[in-house]
Each structure stands twice: as structure tokens, then as C-alpha cells.
Amino acid sequence: MSEKQRQQYFAACQLNTNNNGEVGPSNRLNDPNIGTKRGGSSCSLSVAREERAKTEKEALPLPPSFMEQYEKVEKIGEGTYGVVYKARDRVTNETIALKKIRLEQEDEGVPSTAIREISLLKEMQHRNIVRLQDVVHSEKRLYLVFEYLDLDLKKHMDSSPEFAKDPRQVKVFLYQILCGIAYCHSHRVLHRDLKPQNLLIDRSSNALKLADFGLARAFGIPVRTFTHEVVTLWYRAPEILLGSHHYSTPVDVWSVGCIFAEMVNQRPLFPGDSEIDELFKIFRILGTPNEDTWPGVTSLPDFKSAFPKWAPKDLATVVPTLEPAGLDLLSSMLRLDPSKRITARSALEHEYFKDIKLVP
């Protein structure tokens, strides 16, 4: 990489600040209760000068050759944002996950806004968040270096049918998911594309960690994956499906509710194959919303007055093996009206977790 390229990348990783110490476009929300526009437009973020200095310090120039440091071992999958490789750090001999990000306009290079967004994610340090170790921009490509975990929740559920028969294990996993989400939401970072495939499990400690947090903000949520596989809609919140231009942290809580039910039932709760099919699967169970149950819903871009009018079902018939406290928590996560949905932090204090002795 030329000295000019290094300088350009170094400059792109810096945060644009004004005299008040405010930071320019970031991956974070101004207010966790105020949504962001669909498509990932930028919001401003005020942070302490110490945080800004830390971020600037970490935005170091790249090593001369990316592949001199990281050796690809094998391809381990194609995700929403690109190809994932198992790789080895030649400097530390550590096994890492190398995520090559797909760019919509690869000939134009990596947007500096995306680099800033992703660089901020290096600050996210929590035991239930997959650690982003490095951000490498090389030859019009963007690589993210993560800690390596080879088991995800979907694989675990598929290979361990007895998992659903262990209510405590379901509870422990759900608690850890909520811990990770509550942490990210407290830092005003959304996920927007939670699903069992990006909930990774550390085999040695049984810790569950959330992957891909914040990537939707930097790159948007594509309709198809790197290999043109349609991105699943099964965990997508109804406000997004109905075309809302403003949404916030409740979209992640909805996804967790869907995952919770799937862990218990051993099958997806709303397995739609299109946006309208997904909506109708939701409405068949939770009822078709109206202005009484969800004020403002009829004004959303994709709401149709011709939608069939379904009455809500009793969740106990939908998730029959779940204990009453769990049903109450699930119901509070799956409120159609996002303003009535429980927060991740409040969910951690729910009665369902009274026998879980973990600290968020």
C-alpha cells in the first residue's frame, strides 16, 4: 500500500469534530427512543473528548501488506454482508474470523462513512458481543477481523434437539442475548438483523455472543446475501415490514422474541417467504393491528386497509411448553406496537429470570 493510500485511510478513520467536541456521522443513535431513517442515514453523536482521543489513537495506519499478517485457512460461510473465512494471525498465531465485506459499488472503493461507522464498533467491549479486533481496508475491499467462534445458535439447535427440553439452558441463552443487546442499546447501537445464525456460542464457556452488531447501520440491510441467497425475514419487526421510516431499539427486541419462541418450539415462529407472507404469519397469531391496538399503524407506507382481519391467538397455544412467566415475557417482546414493547434492560429484570444469577 502506498504512503498516499495509508494517509487517505488514516484520514477516513478519524472522527470529524467541531469546536464543541461533537462527533460527525456515527453508528449510534442520538436517542435510543428516536428511530433512524430506513437505509442508514447518519446521525450526530456527542461523546467525551477522552473517547474521541481513544478512537483517534486506535485508527492506526495499515500494515504494508494485509495478507502478510492474516493467512486464510478455509471459507466457513457466506453471511449477509459477505464471505467469512477462518484465518490465522501470523503475528500472534491466533485463529480469527475474517469477514470480507461485499460492497455495492466496489469500483468506487470503501465509503469513508462506513469505515468510521465500523471503527466505532471496536469500542464495543462486552462478554456477550463478538469482539471486533481489527478493521482492514485494502484494495477497495473492507475486511473485519473478529474473534473466532465456530458454533452458532442455529447449528446448536439443529444438532441438539434435546436443547429445547432444557428450560434452564434456553433461559440462560436468552438472558445472555438480552445482556448483549442491552449493552449495545445503552451505547445507542442497533443490530436490525438478529437471527440464530449470528448468535455465536463459545464451546469452552457456553457463553453466547452477538455477531454483526452495527453492520446494518454502516452498510444497510441487503435484500440478498453475498451469494444471492434471500435474507431471511423471519425475525424482522412489523414496523420495518410495514415500511416505517423511523424505528429504533424495539426492532431488536422483536427479533429476540422470535428467537426465544424458536428455542422453545424447535421451529421458527413466523417463517414467511415474502414480506407480505411474513406480515400475515405475524397477524394470524398476534392479530391484525388497527388504530386502537397500534396508533398510527394505518399511516405506515405499506399498511393496507384490505389486510385480512385476524383476531389474536392465546400465546399459550402457540408456545405450549413455555412456563407462565416465560409467556408473559414473550408477549411483552412481541407487542405489535413498538412503543409498547419491553426494553432489553427491563426484560433482564423480568420474573422469568428470577433464578438466573448472572450480572448484565
Nearest CA among 234, 240, 232, 286 for reference residue 262: 234
CA–CA distances in Å: residue 339 to residues 247, 248, 270, 349: 10, 10, 21, 19
Instruction: Report the distance separating Cα 352 and Cα 330, nearest Å.
Output: 10
Instruction: Report the distance separating Cα 100 and Cα 27, nearest Å.
Output: 19
Cell of 221: 440491510
For the question of residue 302 being annotated catalytic, the response is: no
Catalytic residue among 134, 193, 212, 252, which? 193
354 is in an annotated binding site: no
Q: Which residues, in sequence order, are bridge partners of residue 141? A: 138
Instruction: Report the distance separating Cα 337 and Cα 250, nearest Å.
Output: 9
Residue linked to cell 474473534: 147
Nearest CA among 112, 303, 127 for reference residue 204: 127
Instruction: Give the contacts of 360 (CB within 8 A, at least 6 positions apart).
Output: 178, 179, 182, 183, 345, 348
Instruction: Give the contacts of 277 (CB within 8 A, at least 6 positions apart).
Output: none
Q: Which residues are annotated as a binding site?
A: 99
List active site positions: 193
Q: Which residues are annotated as a binding site for ATP?
A: 99
